[in-house]
A and B are shown apart, each in its own frame.
Chain A
Amino acid sequence: MRFMMIVKATTDSEAGVIPSQELIDAMQKYNEELVKAGVLLAADGLQPTSSGIRISYPEPGEKPKVMDGPFTESKELIAGYTLIEVKSREEAIEWALRMPDPHGYGQGEIELRQVYEAEDFMDNPETLAKEVTLRKQVAEQKKAW
Protein backbone atom coordinates (compact mmCIF):
# COMPACT_ATOMS: atom_id res chain seq x y z
CA MET A 1 0.00 0.00 0.00
CA ARG A 2 1.05 3.53 -0.69
CA PHE A 3 1.31 6.37 1.75
CA MET A 4 2.08 10.01 1.26
CA MET A 5 4.05 11.73 3.97
CA ILE A 6 3.05 15.34 3.68
CA VAL A 7 5.34 17.91 5.26
CA LYS A 8 3.38 20.95 6.36
CA ALA A 9 4.56 24.48 5.64
CA THR A 10 5.98 26.82 8.26
CA THR A 11 6.74 30.52 8.44
CA ASP A 12 10.30 29.74 7.28
CA SER A 13 9.31 27.52 4.37
CA GLU A 14 6.75 30.09 3.31
CA ALA A 15 9.35 32.85 3.51
CA GLY A 16 11.58 30.79 1.22
CA VAL A 17 14.27 30.48 3.91
CA ILE A 18 16.67 27.68 2.95
CA PRO A 19 16.89 25.10 5.75
CA SER A 20 20.11 24.71 7.73
CA GLN A 21 22.84 22.54 6.26
CA GLU A 22 22.33 20.20 9.21
CA LEU A 23 18.68 19.66 8.33
CA ILE A 24 19.45 19.26 4.63
CA ASP A 25 22.03 16.57 5.48
CA ALA A 26 19.65 14.79 7.84
CA MET A 27 16.90 14.80 5.21
CA GLN A 28 19.25 13.51 2.56
CA LYS A 29 20.39 10.71 4.84
CA TYR A 30 16.78 9.84 5.57
CA ASN A 31 15.88 9.75 1.88
CA GLU A 32 18.86 7.50 1.20
CA GLU A 33 17.58 5.18 3.91
CA LEU A 34 14.21 5.02 2.18
CA VAL A 35 15.88 4.27 -1.15
CA LYS A 36 18.12 1.59 0.35
CA ALA A 37 15.09 -0.07 1.90
CA GLY A 38 13.39 -0.07 -1.51
CA VAL A 39 10.32 1.82 -0.28
CA LEU A 40 10.74 5.29 -1.80
CA LEU A 41 8.61 5.99 -4.87
CA ALA A 42 8.85 9.75 -5.19
CA ALA A 43 9.68 12.84 -3.15
CA ASP A 44 9.55 16.55 -3.87
CA GLY A 45 9.82 19.88 -2.11
CA LEU A 46 7.44 22.65 -3.08
CA GLN A 47 8.16 26.32 -3.59
CA PRO A 48 6.46 28.74 -1.19
CA THR A 49 2.85 29.66 -1.90
CA SER A 50 4.02 33.16 -2.90
CA SER A 51 4.49 31.63 -6.36
CA GLY A 52 1.37 29.48 -6.05
CA ILE A 53 -2.01 29.89 -7.67
CA ARG A 54 -5.30 28.92 -6.11
CA ILE A 55 -8.37 28.03 -8.10
CA SER A 56 -11.64 27.86 -6.20
CA TYR A 57 -15.28 27.38 -7.01
CA PRO A 58 -17.24 29.53 -4.58
CA GLU A 59 -20.36 29.34 -6.78
CA PRO A 60 -21.12 25.82 -8.01
CA GLY A 61 -21.59 25.80 -11.78
CA GLU A 62 -20.08 29.26 -12.12
CA LYS A 63 -16.63 30.20 -13.37
CA PRO A 64 -13.79 29.44 -10.95
CA LYS A 65 -12.03 32.16 -8.99
CA VAL A 66 -8.29 32.35 -9.64
CA MET A 67 -6.16 33.78 -6.86
CA ASP A 68 -2.40 34.35 -6.74
CA GLY A 69 -0.36 33.41 -3.68
CA PRO A 70 0.90 33.83 -1.05
CA PHE A 71 -1.72 32.17 1.07
CA THR A 72 -2.01 32.49 4.80
CA GLU A 73 -2.97 29.85 7.38
CA SER A 74 0.44 28.10 7.04
CA LYS A 75 -0.71 25.04 9.02
CA GLU A 76 -3.02 24.21 6.13
CA LEU A 77 -0.32 24.56 3.51
CA ILE A 78 2.14 21.93 2.42
CA ALA A 79 5.86 22.27 1.77
CA GLY A 80 6.66 18.88 0.33
CA TYR A 81 5.75 15.24 0.10
CA THR A 82 7.32 11.78 0.09
CA LEU A 83 5.54 8.84 -1.45
CA ILE A 84 6.34 5.39 -0.08
CA GLU A 85 5.23 1.81 -0.80
CA VAL A 86 4.95 -0.27 2.37
CA LYS A 87 3.31 -3.43 3.61
CA SER A 88 1.26 -1.98 6.44
CA ARG A 89 -0.05 1.19 8.04
CA GLU A 90 2.30 0.58 10.96
CA GLU A 91 5.29 0.43 8.66
CA ALA A 92 4.26 3.77 7.16
CA ILE A 93 4.00 5.29 10.64
CA GLU A 94 7.39 3.85 11.57
CA TRP A 95 8.99 5.42 8.49
CA ALA A 96 7.29 8.74 9.15
CA LEU A 97 8.59 8.70 12.72
CA ARG A 98 12.12 8.29 11.38
CA MET A 99 11.89 11.40 9.25
CA PRO A 100 13.86 14.24 10.86
CA ASP A 101 11.80 17.07 12.36
CA PRO A 102 11.29 18.94 9.08
CA HIS A 103 11.53 22.46 10.51
CA GLY A 104 12.39 22.75 14.17
CA TYR A 105 11.14 25.69 16.26
CA GLY A 106 8.21 23.55 17.31
CA GLN A 107 6.66 24.04 13.86
CA GLY A 108 7.46 20.71 12.23
CA GLU A 109 4.45 18.66 11.22
CA ILE A 110 4.13 15.58 9.04
CA GLU A 111 0.79 14.23 7.89
CA LEU A 112 0.49 10.66 6.77
CA ARG A 113 -2.20 9.77 4.22
CA GLN A 114 -2.95 6.51 2.48
CA VAL A 115 -3.16 6.72 -1.31
CA TYR A 116 -6.21 5.36 -3.12
CA GLU A 117 -5.33 2.58 -5.53
CA ALA A 118 -6.44 3.20 -9.13
CA GLU A 119 -9.20 0.62 -8.92
CA ASP A 120 -10.77 2.39 -5.95
CA PHE A 121 -12.37 5.02 -8.15
CA MET A 122 -11.52 4.28 -11.77
CA ASP A 123 -14.14 1.68 -12.53
CA ASN A 124 -16.48 3.99 -14.36
CA PRO A 125 -15.98 3.15 -18.08
CA GLU A 126 -16.75 6.68 -19.17
CA THR A 127 -14.08 8.17 -16.92
CA LEU A 128 -11.67 5.59 -18.24
CA ALA A 129 -12.42 6.39 -21.86
CA LYS A 130 -11.85 10.09 -21.18
CA GLU A 131 -8.59 9.31 -19.47
CA VAL A 132 -7.43 7.42 -22.57
CA THR A 133 -8.30 10.32 -24.85
CA LEU A 134 -6.56 12.75 -22.56
CA ARG A 135 -3.37 10.73 -22.46
CA LYS A 136 -3.42 10.38 -26.21
CA GLN A 137 -3.62 14.13 -26.59
CA VAL A 138 -0.73 14.61 -24.19
CA ALA A 139 1.33 12.10 -26.15
CA GLU A 140 0.54 13.85 -29.42
CA GLN A 141 1.52 17.19 -27.99
CA LYS A 142 4.79 15.67 -26.89
CA LYS A 143 5.42 14.41 -30.41
CA ALA A 144 4.62 17.84 -31.80
CA TRP A 145 7.32 19.39 -29.58
Chain B
Amino acid sequence: MTLSETHRTIDAIWRMESAKLIASLTRMIQDVGIAEDLAQDALVIALERWPEIGIPDNPGAWLMTTAKRRAIDLMRRTKRRDQKYLEIARGMDLYKEEDVDHALEGEIGDDLLRLIFMTCHPVLSQDARVALTLRLLCGLTTDEIARSFLVAESTIAQRVVRAKRTLRAEKVPFEVPAGEQRDKRLSAVLEVIYLMFNEGYSATSGDDWIRPLLCQEALRLGRVLSEIVPQEPEVYGLVALMEIQSSRLKTRVSATGEPILLMDQNRAKWDRLLIRRGIAALKRSQELGSTLGPYALQAAISACHAEAPTAAETDWIRIAALYEALSRVTPSPIVELNRAVAISMAFGPSYGLEIVDELSAEPSLKGYHLLPSVRGDLLVKLGRFDEAHTEFERAASMTRNYREKELLQNRAHECES
Protein backbone atom coordinates (compact mmCIF):
# COMPACT_ATOMS: atom_id res chain seq x y z
CA MET B 1 0.00 0.00 0.00
CA THR B 2 1.35 3.45 -0.85
CA LEU B 3 1.21 6.23 1.70
CA SER B 4 -1.73 7.95 0.04
CA GLU B 5 -3.62 4.64 -0.22
CA THR B 6 -3.04 4.07 3.48
CA HIS B 7 -4.29 7.57 4.22
CA ARG B 8 -7.44 7.00 2.18
CA THR B 9 -8.01 3.73 4.02
CA ILE B 10 -7.56 5.52 7.35
CA ASP B 11 -10.11 8.12 6.18
CA ALA B 12 -12.59 5.36 5.46
CA ILE B 13 -11.96 3.68 8.81
CA TRP B 14 -12.35 7.03 10.56
CA ARG B 15 -15.72 7.52 8.94
CA MET B 16 -16.80 4.05 10.06
CA GLU B 17 -15.51 4.35 13.61
CA SER B 18 -15.49 8.00 14.66
CA ALA B 19 -19.07 8.26 15.90
CA LYS B 20 -18.67 5.17 18.06
CA LEU B 21 -15.33 6.45 19.37
CA ILE B 22 -16.69 9.88 20.23
CA ALA B 23 -19.82 8.43 21.80
CA SER B 24 -17.89 6.06 24.08
CA LEU B 25 -15.38 8.74 25.02
CA THR B 26 -18.15 11.23 25.80
CA ARG B 27 -19.69 8.74 28.19
CA MET B 28 -16.38 8.53 30.07
CA ILE B 29 -15.35 12.19 29.97
CA GLN B 30 -18.85 13.71 29.93
CA ASP B 31 -17.61 16.42 27.58
CA VAL B 32 -18.24 16.03 23.89
CA GLY B 33 -15.58 18.60 22.91
CA ILE B 34 -12.79 16.83 24.79
CA ALA B 35 -14.08 13.49 23.55
CA GLU B 36 -13.78 14.65 19.96
CA ASP B 37 -10.26 15.98 20.59
CA LEU B 38 -9.22 12.64 22.07
CA ALA B 39 -10.67 10.76 19.12
CA GLN B 40 -8.83 13.12 16.77
CA ASP B 41 -5.60 12.50 18.69
CA ALA B 42 -6.05 8.78 18.16
CA LEU B 43 -6.58 9.45 14.45
CA VAL B 44 -3.36 11.49 14.26
CA ILE B 45 -1.46 8.66 15.95
CA ALA B 46 -2.95 6.18 13.50
CA LEU B 47 -1.89 8.39 10.58
CA GLU B 48 1.66 8.35 11.94
CA ARG B 49 1.92 4.70 12.86
CA TRP B 50 -0.23 2.69 10.47
CA PRO B 51 1.86 3.44 7.40
CA GLU B 52 4.72 1.76 9.32
CA ILE B 53 3.05 -1.09 11.17
CA GLY B 54 0.25 -1.68 8.69
CA ILE B 55 -3.50 -1.43 9.28
CA PRO B 56 -4.37 -3.36 12.47
CA ASP B 57 -6.72 -6.34 12.24
CA ASN B 58 -9.31 -4.55 14.31
CA PRO B 59 -8.74 -0.88 13.58
CA GLY B 60 -11.79 0.25 15.57
CA ALA B 61 -10.52 -1.38 18.74
CA TRP B 62 -7.03 0.01 18.11
CA LEU B 63 -8.39 3.55 17.86
CA MET B 64 -10.56 3.06 20.93
CA THR B 65 -7.70 1.78 23.08
CA THR B 66 -5.39 4.54 21.89
CA ALA B 67 -7.97 7.21 22.59
CA LYS B 68 -8.68 5.81 26.03
CA ARG B 69 -4.98 5.83 26.89
CA ARG B 70 -4.92 9.48 25.87
CA ALA B 71 -7.94 10.08 28.06
CA ILE B 72 -6.12 8.65 31.07
CA ASP B 73 -2.99 10.67 30.27
CA LEU B 74 -5.10 13.77 30.10
CA MET B 75 -6.72 13.00 33.42
CA ARG B 76 -3.33 12.47 35.00
CA ARG B 77 -2.00 15.70 33.59
CA THR B 78 -4.92 17.69 34.81
CA LYS B 79 -4.56 15.89 38.14
CA ARG B 80 -8.18 15.01 38.29
CA ARG B 81 -7.72 11.80 40.21
CA ASP B 82 -11.34 11.74 41.08
CA GLN B 83 -14.19 9.37 40.55
CA LYS B 84 -14.11 9.94 36.85
CA TYR B 85 -10.47 8.87 36.57
CA LEU B 86 -11.12 5.70 38.54
CA GLU B 87 -13.99 4.93 36.26
CA ILE B 88 -11.83 5.23 33.17
CA ALA B 89 -9.09 3.14 34.75
CA ARG B 90 -11.65 0.44 35.44
CA GLY B 91 -12.90 0.79 31.91
CA MET B 92 -9.39 0.16 30.59
CA ASP B 93 -9.28 -3.22 32.30
CA LEU B 94 -12.53 -4.09 30.71
CA TYR B 95 -11.67 -3.13 27.17
CA LYS B 96 -8.80 -5.30 26.04
CA GLU B 97 -7.88 -4.52 22.49
CA GLU B 98 -9.12 -7.81 21.10
CA ASP B 99 -12.50 -7.81 22.77
CA VAL B 100 -13.42 -4.16 22.71
CA ASP B 101 -16.21 -4.90 20.27
CA HIS B 102 -17.54 -7.63 22.46
CA ALA B 103 -17.39 -5.58 25.66
CA LEU B 104 -19.15 -2.68 24.03
CA GLU B 105 -21.90 -4.62 22.39
CA GLY B 106 -25.26 -3.32 23.42
CA GLU B 107 -23.68 -0.24 24.91
CA ILE B 108 -22.52 1.27 21.65
CA GLY B 109 -26.06 1.77 20.43
CA ASP B 110 -27.01 3.48 23.70
CA ASP B 111 -23.98 5.74 23.53
CA LEU B 112 -24.72 6.72 19.94
CA LEU B 113 -28.29 7.52 20.93
CA ARG B 114 -27.10 9.68 23.84
CA LEU B 115 -24.70 11.44 21.48
CA ILE B 116 -27.36 12.23 18.90
CA PHE B 117 -29.71 13.50 21.61
CA MET B 118 -26.86 15.78 22.63
CA THR B 119 -25.99 17.11 19.17
CA CYS B 120 -29.69 17.74 18.49
CA HIS B 121 -30.29 19.41 21.84
CA PRO B 122 -32.75 22.35 21.83
CA VAL B 123 -30.21 24.68 23.50
CA LEU B 124 -28.46 24.75 20.13
CA SER B 125 -29.66 26.65 17.08
CA GLN B 126 -31.03 24.56 14.23
CA ASP B 127 -27.92 25.32 12.13
CA ALA B 128 -25.62 24.31 14.95
CA ARG B 129 -27.50 21.05 15.49
CA VAL B 130 -27.13 20.08 11.85
CA ALA B 131 -23.44 21.00 11.68
CA LEU B 132 -22.56 19.23 14.92
CA THR B 133 -24.51 16.11 13.98
CA LEU B 134 -22.82 15.90 10.58
CA ARG B 135 -19.47 16.37 12.24
CA LEU B 136 -19.81 13.98 15.19
CA LEU B 137 -22.31 11.38 14.03
CA CYS B 138 -21.47 11.24 10.32
CA GLY B 139 -17.73 11.89 10.59
CA LEU B 140 -17.81 14.62 7.93
CA THR B 141 -14.97 17.14 7.84
CA THR B 142 -15.70 20.84 8.34
CA ASP B 143 -14.70 21.32 4.71
CA GLU B 144 -17.29 18.80 3.54
CA ILE B 145 -19.99 20.38 5.70
CA ALA B 146 -19.06 23.87 4.49
CA ARG B 147 -19.21 22.80 0.85
CA SER B 148 -22.58 21.18 1.27
CA PHE B 149 -24.03 24.36 2.77
CA LEU B 150 -22.17 26.65 0.38
CA VAL B 151 -20.56 28.62 3.22
CA ALA B 152 -16.95 29.25 4.22
CA GLU B 153 -15.15 26.50 6.11
CA SER B 154 -14.36 28.94 8.93
CA THR B 155 -18.08 29.57 9.41
CA ILE B 156 -18.75 25.89 9.99
CA ALA B 157 -15.66 25.48 12.18
CA GLN B 158 -16.85 28.37 14.33
CA ARG B 159 -20.38 27.01 14.45
CA VAL B 160 -19.12 23.65 15.68
CA VAL B 161 -16.81 25.19 18.29
CA ARG B 162 -19.58 27.42 19.59
CA ALA B 163 -22.04 24.54 19.72
CA LYS B 164 -19.64 22.46 21.80
CA ARG B 165 -19.06 25.45 24.09
CA THR B 166 -22.80 25.93 24.54
CA LEU B 167 -23.29 22.25 25.43
CA ARG B 168 -20.56 22.58 28.06
CA ALA B 169 -21.85 25.89 29.45
CA GLU B 170 -25.41 24.59 29.66
CA LYS B 171 -24.16 21.35 31.23
CA VAL B 172 -26.20 19.30 28.78
CA PRO B 173 -26.03 15.75 30.13
CA PHE B 174 -24.99 12.74 28.03
CA GLU B 175 -28.22 10.86 28.47
CA VAL B 176 -31.44 9.71 26.89
CA PRO B 177 -34.24 11.74 28.48
CA ALA B 178 -37.12 9.82 30.01
CA GLY B 179 -40.88 9.87 29.55
CA GLU B 180 -42.62 12.62 27.70
CA GLN B 181 -39.38 14.54 27.35
CA ARG B 182 -37.96 11.63 25.38
CA ASP B 183 -40.68 11.82 22.74
CA LYS B 184 -40.21 15.54 22.36
CA ARG B 185 -36.46 15.25 22.05
CA LEU B 186 -36.73 12.33 19.65
CA SER B 187 -38.85 14.42 17.32
CA ALA B 188 -36.18 17.15 17.55
CA VAL B 189 -33.65 14.53 16.42
CA LEU B 190 -35.88 13.49 13.52
CA GLU B 191 -36.31 17.13 12.58
CA VAL B 192 -32.53 17.61 12.36
CA ILE B 193 -32.14 14.50 10.21
CA TYR B 194 -34.92 15.58 7.87
CA LEU B 195 -33.55 19.11 7.68
CA MET B 196 -30.19 17.64 6.70
CA PHE B 197 -31.88 15.54 4.07
CA ASN B 198 -33.89 18.43 2.64
CA GLU B 199 -30.85 20.65 2.50
CA GLY B 200 -29.34 18.13 0.12
CA TYR B 201 -32.57 17.33 -1.66
CA SER B 202 -34.00 20.73 -2.45
CA ALA B 203 -30.77 22.30 -3.62
CA THR B 204 -30.19 22.44 -7.31
CA SER B 205 -26.89 24.28 -7.17
CA GLY B 206 -23.53 23.60 -5.59
CA ASP B 207 -21.07 20.77 -6.07
CA ASP B 208 -22.57 17.81 -7.83
CA TRP B 209 -21.39 15.20 -5.41
CA ILE B 210 -21.58 17.03 -2.14
CA ARG B 211 -25.32 17.70 -2.09
CA PRO B 212 -26.31 14.07 -2.58
CA LEU B 213 -23.84 13.38 0.21
CA LEU B 214 -26.13 15.22 2.64
CA CYS B 215 -29.08 13.08 1.56
CA GLN B 216 -27.04 9.93 1.90
CA GLU B 217 -25.75 10.89 5.32
CA ALA B 218 -29.24 11.75 6.55
CA LEU B 219 -30.59 8.49 5.22
CA ARG B 220 -27.74 6.50 6.73
CA LEU B 221 -28.24 8.20 10.08
CA GLY B 222 -31.97 7.49 9.91
CA ARG B 223 -31.27 3.81 9.21
CA VAL B 224 -28.79 3.70 12.11
CA LEU B 225 -31.35 5.33 14.41
CA SER B 226 -34.04 2.85 13.39
CA GLU B 227 -31.72 0.07 14.55
CA ILE B 228 -31.03 1.75 17.91
CA VAL B 229 -34.68 2.56 18.68
CA PRO B 230 -36.51 -0.17 16.78
CA GLN B 231 -39.88 0.44 18.43
CA GLU B 232 -40.47 4.00 17.22
CA PRO B 233 -42.97 4.20 14.34
CA GLU B 234 -42.00 7.74 13.36
CA VAL B 235 -38.33 6.82 12.99
CA TYR B 236 -39.37 4.24 10.40
CA GLY B 237 -41.76 6.80 8.94
CA LEU B 238 -38.90 9.22 8.40
CA VAL B 239 -36.64 6.49 7.01
CA ALA B 240 -39.42 5.48 4.62
CA LEU B 241 -39.90 9.07 3.50
CA MET B 242 -36.18 9.54 2.87
CA GLU B 243 -35.76 6.18 1.10
CA ILE B 244 -38.62 6.94 -1.28
CA GLN B 245 -37.59 10.54 -1.91
CA SER B 246 -34.00 9.36 -2.50
CA SER B 247 -35.27 7.01 -5.17
CA ARG B 248 -36.00 10.14 -7.25
CA LEU B 249 -32.75 11.97 -6.51
CA LYS B 250 -31.43 11.54 -10.00
CA THR B 251 -34.58 12.40 -11.89
CA ARG B 252 -35.64 15.64 -10.28
CA VAL B 253 -33.19 17.91 -12.12
CA SER B 254 -32.70 18.11 -15.87
CA ALA B 255 -29.31 17.91 -17.58
CA THR B 256 -29.31 21.71 -17.71
CA GLY B 257 -30.10 22.04 -14.03
CA GLU B 258 -33.80 22.89 -14.20
CA PRO B 259 -36.01 21.23 -11.63
CA ILE B 260 -38.35 18.58 -13.02
CA LEU B 261 -41.75 18.25 -11.33
CA LEU B 262 -42.74 14.91 -9.87
CA MET B 263 -45.44 14.35 -12.49
CA ASP B 264 -42.99 14.97 -15.33
CA GLN B 265 -40.16 12.85 -13.99
CA ASN B 266 -38.91 9.82 -15.83
CA ARG B 267 -40.19 6.98 -13.70
CA ALA B 268 -37.95 4.44 -15.36
CA LYS B 269 -35.05 6.14 -13.64
CA TRP B 270 -36.49 5.90 -10.15
CA ASP B 271 -34.45 3.62 -7.95
CA ARG B 272 -36.62 0.53 -7.41
CA LEU B 273 -34.41 -0.82 -4.62
CA LEU B 274 -34.86 2.33 -2.54
CA ILE B 275 -38.60 2.36 -3.22
CA ARG B 276 -38.84 -1.23 -2.01
CA ARG B 277 -36.84 -0.38 1.10
CA GLY B 278 -39.02 2.68 1.71
CA ILE B 279 -42.24 0.72 1.42
CA ALA B 280 -40.85 -1.93 3.79
CA ALA B 281 -39.96 0.78 6.33
CA LEU B 282 -43.43 2.30 5.95
CA LYS B 283 -44.99 -1.08 6.59
CA ARG B 284 -42.88 -1.45 9.71
CA SER B 285 -44.03 1.98 10.87
CA GLN B 286 -47.66 1.00 10.32
CA GLU B 287 -47.18 -2.20 12.31
CA LEU B 288 -45.65 -0.33 15.24
CA GLY B 289 -48.06 2.57 15.59
CA SER B 290 -51.80 2.68 15.95
CA THR B 291 -52.07 5.82 13.81
CA LEU B 292 -49.62 7.19 11.29
CA GLY B 293 -47.47 10.13 12.40
CA PRO B 294 -46.57 13.08 10.14
CA TYR B 295 -43.46 11.44 8.65
CA ALA B 296 -45.23 8.15 8.01
CA LEU B 297 -48.11 10.02 6.37
CA GLN B 298 -45.78 11.94 4.10
CA ALA B 299 -44.02 8.67 3.32
CA ALA B 300 -47.37 7.08 2.47
CA ILE B 301 -48.12 9.95 0.07
CA SER B 302 -44.69 9.56 -1.44
CA ALA B 303 -45.28 5.81 -1.76
CA CYS B 304 -48.50 6.44 -3.72
CA HIS B 305 -46.47 8.29 -6.34
CA ALA B 306 -43.71 5.66 -6.25
CA GLU B 307 -46.17 2.85 -6.86
CA ALA B 308 -47.96 4.48 -9.78
CA PRO B 309 -46.48 3.10 -13.03
CA THR B 310 -47.34 6.35 -14.82
CA ALA B 311 -48.30 9.82 -13.61
CA ALA B 312 -51.81 9.36 -15.03
CA GLU B 313 -52.37 6.29 -12.88
CA THR B 314 -51.65 8.07 -9.60
CA ASP B 315 -54.14 7.18 -6.88
CA TRP B 316 -55.24 10.75 -6.13
CA ILE B 317 -58.18 9.70 -3.99
CA ARG B 318 -55.84 7.97 -1.59
CA ILE B 319 -53.40 10.88 -1.68
CA ALA B 320 -56.24 13.32 -0.90
CA ALA B 321 -57.27 11.16 2.07
CA LEU B 322 -53.67 10.99 3.32
CA TYR B 323 -53.34 14.79 3.06
CA GLU B 324 -56.51 15.12 5.06
CA ALA B 325 -55.05 12.85 7.75
CA LEU B 326 -51.81 14.86 7.63
CA SER B 327 -53.63 18.15 8.04
CA ARG B 328 -55.33 16.72 11.12
CA VAL B 329 -52.00 15.66 12.68
CA THR B 330 -50.05 18.76 11.67
CA PRO B 331 -52.50 21.44 10.53
CA SER B 332 -50.82 23.90 8.17
CA PRO B 333 -51.97 26.04 5.25
CA ILE B 334 -49.26 24.48 3.08
CA VAL B 335 -50.62 21.00 3.75
CA GLU B 336 -54.10 22.35 2.97
CA LEU B 337 -52.87 23.73 -0.33
CA ASN B 338 -51.41 20.35 -1.19
CA ARG B 339 -54.67 18.72 -0.21
CA ALA B 340 -56.49 21.10 -2.55
CA VAL B 341 -54.32 19.96 -5.44
CA ALA B 342 -54.91 16.29 -4.59
CA ILE B 343 -58.67 16.87 -4.26
CA SER B 344 -58.81 18.59 -7.63
CA MET B 345 -56.91 15.72 -9.24
CA ALA B 346 -59.18 13.17 -7.58
CA PHE B 347 -62.61 14.82 -7.82
CA GLY B 348 -62.27 17.76 -10.21
CA PRO B 349 -60.90 21.32 -10.14
CA SER B 350 -64.01 22.97 -8.64
CA TYR B 351 -63.62 21.00 -5.40
CA GLY B 352 -59.95 21.99 -5.17
CA LEU B 353 -60.84 25.60 -5.84
CA GLU B 354 -63.21 25.68 -2.86
CA ILE B 355 -60.35 24.81 -0.51
CA VAL B 356 -57.98 27.27 -2.19
CA ASP B 357 -60.52 30.06 -1.86
CA GLU B 358 -60.82 29.38 1.85
CA LEU B 359 -57.05 29.65 2.06
CA SER B 360 -56.86 33.01 0.30
CA ALA B 361 -57.63 34.80 3.58
CA GLU B 362 -54.84 32.92 5.36
CA PRO B 363 -52.31 35.54 6.58
CA SER B 364 -49.35 33.13 6.62
CA LEU B 365 -49.77 32.50 2.89
CA LYS B 366 -49.68 36.19 2.02
CA GLY B 367 -46.83 36.56 -0.45
CA TYR B 368 -46.62 32.80 -1.04
CA HIS B 369 -46.54 32.55 -4.81
CA LEU B 370 -47.76 28.95 -4.98
CA LEU B 371 -51.21 29.97 -3.73
CA PRO B 372 -52.11 32.13 -6.78
CA SER B 373 -50.17 29.72 -8.98
CA VAL B 374 -52.30 26.75 -7.87
CA ARG B 375 -55.45 28.87 -8.06
CA GLY B 376 -54.53 29.94 -11.59
CA ASP B 377 -53.99 26.35 -12.57
CA LEU B 378 -57.41 25.31 -11.27
CA LEU B 379 -59.09 28.26 -13.00
CA VAL B 380 -57.52 27.25 -16.32
CA LYS B 381 -58.94 23.77 -15.88
CA LEU B 382 -62.36 25.35 -15.30
CA GLY B 383 -61.99 27.49 -18.42
CA ARG B 384 -61.98 30.77 -16.44
CA PHE B 385 -59.02 32.19 -18.33
CA ASP B 386 -59.37 35.89 -17.40
CA GLU B 387 -59.23 35.15 -13.69
CA ALA B 388 -56.44 32.64 -14.25
CA HIS B 389 -54.45 35.33 -16.07
CA THR B 390 -54.66 37.64 -13.07
CA GLU B 391 -53.58 34.85 -10.71
CA PHE B 392 -50.53 33.89 -12.78
CA GLU B 393 -49.49 37.55 -13.06
CA ARG B 394 -49.83 37.87 -9.32
CA ALA B 395 -47.82 34.70 -8.70
CA ALA B 396 -45.10 35.89 -11.11
CA SER B 397 -44.77 39.16 -9.21
CA MET B 398 -44.32 37.26 -5.94
CA THR B 399 -41.48 34.89 -6.82
CA ARG B 400 -37.88 35.98 -6.83
CA ASN B 401 -36.74 32.90 -8.70
CA TYR B 402 -36.07 33.99 -12.28
CA ARG B 403 -36.94 30.69 -13.94
CA GLU B 404 -40.16 30.39 -12.02
CA LYS B 405 -41.14 33.97 -12.82
CA GLU B 406 -40.63 33.32 -16.51
CA LEU B 407 -42.69 30.15 -16.35
CA LEU B 408 -45.58 31.91 -14.59
CA GLN B 409 -45.52 34.82 -17.05
CA ASN B 410 -45.71 32.33 -19.88
CA ARG B 411 -48.71 30.71 -18.29
CA ALA B 412 -50.36 34.10 -17.87
CA HIS B 413 -49.66 34.84 -21.53
CA GLU B 414 -51.25 31.53 -22.58
CA CYS B 415 -54.48 32.59 -20.87
CA GLU B 416 -54.79 35.57 -23.21
CA SER B 417 -55.30 33.56 -26.36
Contacts and interface: CB of A to CB of B under 8 A. Distances in A.
Contact of B269 (A91, A119, A139): A119
B12 interface: yes
A23 interface: no
Given A119-B250, A122-B268, A94 B309 contact: no
A136 interface: yes
Interface stretch (A32-40, A45-53, A71-79, A104-112): A32-40
Interface residues of A, number: 28
Interface string A49-87: 000000000000000000000000000000000010111
Contact of B223 (A38, A90, A118, A122): A38
Interface in B250-280: 250, 266-269, 271, 273, 277
B268 A135 contact: yes
Given A87-B213, A93-B9, 20 more contacts: A35-B227, A36-B109, A36-B228, A38-B222, A39-B220, A41-B273, A85-B220, A87-B15, A90-B12, A94-B9, A119-B250, A119-B269, A122-B268, A128-B266, A128-B268, A132-B266, A132-B268, A132-B309, A135-B267, A135-B268
Task: Bin chain B's interface residue count.
Answer: 20 to 34
B270 to A, nearest CB: 8
A42 interface: yes
B216 A87 contact: yes
Task: State the main secondary structure of chain A at its contact with B.
Answer: helix
A139 B266 contact: no
Interface in B292-315: 309-310
Contacts, number: 70
A88 interface: yes
B224 interface: yes
Given A35-B227, A36-B224, A131-B268, A136 B309 contact: yes
A135 B295 CA distance: 28
A90 B310 contact: no
Contacts of A83: 273
Interface of B: 8-9, 11-13, 15-16, 109, 213, 216, 219-224, 227-228, 250, 266-269, 271, 273, 277, 309-310
Interface of A: 35-39, 41-42, 83, 85-88, 90-91, 93-95, 117-119, 122, 128-129, 131-132, 135-136, 139
